[in-house]
Structure 1
């Protein structure tokens, strides 16, 4: 069996495709961890008066939402890396069909194929 025919995790991804997607996920993981560390430093600095006094409630709310979003994306990225390690990456959680490579290249932490994602969003 050549590399092009290798079926990794049931998603039909070649080892090269999987390696490129893993690299992208690892990069996103590093970015989110850095982002969360920066939020923590910024927050600590503002508590100690480094940013010129009291923060407004609106700014604090925006910061809280940004931190929550970063934590959520980080959790999705780490879950995708875990699926890779377990050989279940690239398979839709709902229909169990392979998620197309072009979709994974845009959203490498995707849990659902585009069709199931649309159905889920329409039902909300």
Structure 2
């Protein structure tokens, strides 16, 4: 499978960096999809009885894990969309480039570090 990177602002990201970040996002998407499939396989069915504290705690943990996986999957898909449209790598608040080091750690990042902190304190 091959990808084109013509829509990525190459002034901001080198082609090798862009390819590595896209690959990391695709790997993360695959991992999250597999995670959701695995969670679905171990999810207790409605017919599982009894509904004791252990079962309820298990459902709660599985729900939290599934919700987190869905959030990250959504963020990854959005980042891949930004790559495809040429809007990847700039902060959604200040519109400055997100440092490459941050993107390497969190390739689906929408915000630079300072704006992320600002957003977290406001929320």
Deviations 1:12-40 (A, max 9, x none): 10111000000000000000000001111
Shift of the 8–48 alpha-carbon distance from structure 1 to 2, 3 Å rule, reads closer
Report the CA distance between 1:123 and its aligned residue.
1.6
1: distance between equivalents of 2:80 and 2:102?
Answer: 16
Distance 2:57 2:8 in 1: 47
Structure 1 contact 11–99 (Cα < 8 Å) conserved: no
Number of residue equivalences: 115
Unaligned runs of 5+ in 1: 1-6
Structure 1 residue ranges, 4+ long, deviating more than 3 angstroms after superposition: 51-55
- Shift in CA distance, 65/8, structure 1 to aligned 2, threshold 3 Å: same
Alignment of 1:16-95 (within 5 A): 16-43=16-43, 46-47=44-45, 56-95=55-94
Gaps of 5+ in 2: 1-6
Q: With structure 1 as the length reference, what TM-score do the two structures score?
A: 0.84
